[in-house]
Amino acid sequence: MQNDVLRIWLSMPGVLCCAGNNAASFFDAAACGSQHGIHPITAGNFLAGRIADGDLPSGYLPQENRTFRIAAAALEQIRGTVEQARAACGSSRIGVCVGSCDNGSEGSLSAHKAYCSTGSFPADYDLRFQSASFTAEYIARSLAVSGPAFTLATACASSAGAIIHAAQLIRAGLCDAVIAGGADIASETALLGFASLEAVSDSVSNPFSKNRRGITLGEGAAFFVLSKEPLGGADGSGIELLGYGESADAFHMTAPRADGSGAIRAMREALSKAGKKPNDVDYVNLHGTGTVLNDGMEAAAMAAVFSECAPLVSSTKPITGHTLGAAGALELALCWMALAEGKGRAPLHCWDGVPDGELPPLHFVRKENGAFKENGAQKLRICMSNSFAFGGCNTSLIVGREG
């Protein structure tokens, strides 16, 4: 049990997505069910959760690398916490773990278009920006830390995996603190790729509905500082990573195993490491992409793990879009805020309210059910966040509030 060993604390996250430009505004949007950030885009007949250009920094980053710019905006919000960690631990004891699926695709497309028209690449084009490792290298340089730095690319579980690996670096004694999270973009490459799989909805995603039609993509970033001691003062103390689980289906390149066995293993491992039982969990942020296969698998897995209880659940992808490699960290940020706020609010489940009779029922957070207070308590104490990715990469994170 992880409770018998070193505790891992999570700072207040830095967040940017179409639903909010910091953790507080993002959580308010999710708790109200606001879908104001989902708009049509020009690359085909798609909707996507795009971040307004005015929310992105400029001037000192490659303008073509949107992933870096989104990450920079989120990281700036936790710069003070990083400085606190640097003063306490030293730069060499602070690592970086970042999850992302995009390796500079916008810069690559722009450069290759220039090459096709002029016969040469732009003078400022650097192939290093497309390296999977460069996002972590950029973050380490921008925040002046020199511990181990990793980029993880496990599809839509990337940033959840980054948080797990950050905790493992601390437990292994290799770091005293780690900057961990993810950033990703709704690039033209990603949109067309998902469209080729016939997985993109022509309306906002409608998870677990009988009428669900597929994914709505989005972009965003969320980063935490994980540490052996709480950081960030009153705003950042008291939330810890209690447990985590990972599994690998190796079943199919894109489809999940229909019986949910991989997801079940990840959730049960997370509960075991946390030393918790299913009925200890107050709220679960579902992966909930709105595809027939994912929702069917996840509903079956939830029914197996939580067979004797019914935690409140929601998918927040209709609010943010599916932010791919950033999704795990972004959704964990909602769990962090739900715990820290202490008002019993949980993110709403946004859908058309038409259940799929072929799926096991889930206890969705709705406006009319009073969020967590319906269960007879005033505060959430334990939250789970699930990320189930292409290639059978399954992760489950459990966070809890001290006291």
Residue burial 187-207, b: 16+ Cβ < 10 Å; e: rest: bbbbbeebbeeebbbeebbbb
Interaxial angle between packed helices 158-171 and 327-341, expressed in degrees from 0 to 180 and rounded to the nearest 10:
70
Q: Which two tokens stand for residue 113?
A: 């278009």
**Catalytic residue of the set 101, 165, 287, 350:** 287
In angstroms, the CA 137 to CA 7 distance is 27
**Catalytic residue of the set 17, 97, 101, 156:** 156
- The residue written with tokens 């001691």 in the block is 229
Contacts 24+ apart (CB under 8 A), 361-367: 362/208, 362/286, 362/299, 362/302, 362/310, 362/313, 363/310, 363/311, 363/312, 363/313, 364/208, 364/312, 364/313, 364/314, 365/283, 365/312, 365/313, 365/314, 367/33
Handedness of CA 183, 94, 154, 270 (dihedral sign): negative
How many Cβ atoms sit within 10 Å of the Cβ of residue 47? 22
Handedness of CA 381, 294, 256, 320 (dihedral sign): negative
Q: Answer yes or no: 309 catalytic.
A: no
Q: Answer yes or no: 287 catalytic.
A: yes
Q: Answer yes or no: 36 catalytic.
A: no
**Catalytic residue of the set 165, 322, 349, 363:** 322
Dihedral of the alpha carbons of 230, 233, 234, 240, in degrees to the nearest 10: -20
Tell me the catalytic residues: 156, 287, 322
